[in-house]
Amino acid sequence: MLDLGRSFLGSVARDPAALAIVDGEVRLTYAAWLRHVSAVVAGLDDLGLRPGDHLLTLLQNRWEAATLYWACQLAGIIITPLNWRATADEVDYVATDAGARAVVYEQASADALAASACARSLPRVVIGDAAPPGAC
């Protein structure tokens, strides 16, 4: 069986000093990126997420989204990505359909999250800009 988390760890083990990700000014080696990924795994655990839980994300393509993806792979959490331009109705539908246990978003999708009745009932983590009330 293919385990994507192990494939990431294999890349780290093969060449920890190799450049793994570049996003604007962010340039991380595999070893440095693994430290970020591991910290996110711990944060997901602190949120009470367990293997098999769904995590809804509304993020643009950015290094934090990739980091969250790998953290979910390592933690056994099912990442359910939704376009960051989604409407509140779309957020409600997907969060309900997936049985999301938490949501990660950024400022660009904050209005849809604020208008989503389902998302307001979930733990929310904002990436990037200052967190609004109720977010981690």
How is the chain split into domains, by residue range? 4-127
Residue 27 and residue 29: Cα distance in Å, rounded?
7
pLDDT score at 77: 97
What average pLDDT does range 16-37 have in this prediction? 95
pLDDT score at 37: 96
Mean pLDDT of the chain: 91
In this predicted structure, the answer to whether residue 130 has a pLDDT above a threshold of 70 is no
pLDDT score at 5: 74
Residue 54 and residue 100: Cα distance in Å, rounded?
5
Residue 24 and residue 39: Cα distance in Å, rounded?
21
CATH code that applies to domain 4-127: 3.40.50.980
